[in-house]
Amino acid sequence: MNVQVAGVLYGSTVNGPGRRNVLHLQGCTLGCRGCFNPGTHDAAAGRRQTLDEVVGALVPKGSEAPAITISGGEPFQQLPALVALLRRLRECGVDSIVVFSGYAMEELQAMPGSGAALAEIDVLIAGRYVATEATGLGLCASANQRAHLLTHRHTLEELQLGESAAVEITILPDGNVVMSGFPSPAIRRAIAALDS
């Protein structure tokens, strides 16, 4: 089983409750205007990795299983790989999984095979990003998006949905700058200038 990966971030604090390792999957056809991650749209870009490689990158051997967030691209556009990955993460002892999807819950429930993925997710943030409904608040970046608690692992309070959107900027060892979270357009322009 292979997974098309855009990148991995370690120890993020802006992609769900607490400190989390974050997997960005590659490929999304939903085309939201103002998408924060246009570089993740092309399904042929990024890197193709085996499930073992992805799990090994997210859950380093010998360390306590971290909390995990899976984002995009669109995770549900790699549904068989997503299901396999979620199950492997649970086998490794991961007890907190947040997934961001551009599909609304009703769309996911109508998607054949999605139930196996939903069964392994603690918190699903669902819905297209609609720039004209941007909230400036954390996790649900536009007002139409919904946070679904699919297990009892987390509470709505822990998600801090009413808090101002946080932004995290990571400078990688190779000098590339990675931005995560829910930045305003002005912050995105400033970071793009930094990275050019």
Round to whole Å and give the CA distance between 185 and 43: 25
Binding mask 70-89 for ligand SF4 (x = CB under 6 A): --xxx---------------
Q: Which stretch binds ligand SF4 (CB under 6 A): 32-40, 80-88, 173-181, 182-190?
A: 32-40
Nearer to ligand SF4, 128 or 154 (CB): 128
Round to whole Å and give the CA distance between 108 and 25: 17
From the CB of residue 78, how many other CB atoms can be counted at a distance below 10 Å? 22
12 within 8 A of 180, measured Cβ to Cβ: yes
Q: Where are the alpha helices (DSSP H) in the chain?
A: 51-58, 79-91, 105-109, 114-118, 156-159, 185-195
Binding mask 127-156 for ligand SF4 (x = CB under 6 A): -xx---------------------------
Question: Least separation, in Å, of the C-beta of 164 and ligand SF4?
Answer: 20
**Binding to ligand SF4 by residue 35, rule CB under 6 A?**
yes
Q: Which residues bind ligand SF4 (CB under 6 A)?
A: 28, 30-32, 35, 37, 40, 72-74, 102, 128-129
